[in-house]
């Protein structure tokens, strides 16, 4: 196997460790192979790649798209280090409003799979970071939603308390006030 898959505290969120081949020329990494991902519970096709660069302290999130255009994400860091967070926003889920957060970096060659029904965000810990993430549906502005990064109900322990936010992210509502049409399906576990 090229990859190792580790289910996190919320089992639908999966940490993927890529196989790295390093020699005197540099490094070769295979980040994605559909057959191995599908065999490990990540079978959706990815249809769009997104790329961002940000400086230390920038926080992007917490974002999701409504069910009509819901996206699963596969997040990787090409340069630098981030603190990546996935929040379960599926009503009636046993882990509703709980979150998983972990550091991922270009040096550890890990990816984070964030399934449909989760809000996602990250904060840059290095001087600069370049992040790429694959999504399972194309972006639809009319379905774009989010929740406040500092929602006290969630209590996310962001590493850098004075986050740098966009105007859009600064105005996001708390989870209880956010438009959210996700409901937990017992069969999805």
Catalytic residues: 63, 133
Q: What is the CA radius of gyration of the chain?
A: 16
Find, among 114, 113, 68, the residue nearest to 88 by Cα: 114
Instruction: Give the number of C-alpha atoms closer than 13 A to the C-alpha of residue 139, restricted to the C-beta side.
Output: 9
Q: Are 18 and 110 in contact (CB under 8 A)?
A: yes
Compute the distance between CA of residue 125 and CA of residue 141 in angstroms, rounded to an integer: 28
SS3 category, 8: coil
């Amino acid at each position: 196997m090229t990859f190792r898959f580790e289910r996190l505290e919320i089992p639908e969120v999966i940490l993927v460790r890529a196989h790295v081949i390093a020699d005197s020329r540099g490094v070769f990494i295979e980040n994605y192979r559909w057959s191995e991902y599908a065999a490990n519970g990540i079978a959706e096709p990815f249809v769009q790649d997104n790329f961002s660069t940000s400086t230390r302290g920038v926080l992007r999130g917490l974002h999701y798209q409504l069910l009509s255009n819901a996206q699963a994400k596969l997040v990787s860091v090409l340069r630098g280090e981030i603190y990546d967070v996935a929040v379960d926003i599926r009503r009636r889920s046993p882990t509703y409003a709980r979150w998983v957060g972990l550091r991922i970096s270009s040096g550890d060659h890990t990816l984070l799979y964030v399934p449909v029904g989760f809000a996602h965000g990250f904060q840059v810990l290095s001087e600069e970071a370049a992040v790429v993430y694959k999504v399972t549906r194309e972006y639809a502005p009319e379905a774009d939603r989010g929740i406040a990064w500092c929602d006290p109900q969630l209590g996310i322990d962001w590493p850098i308390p004075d986050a740098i936010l966009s105007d859009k992210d600064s105005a996001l509502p708390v989870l209880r006030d956010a438009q959210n049409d996700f409901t937990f399906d017992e069969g999805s576990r």
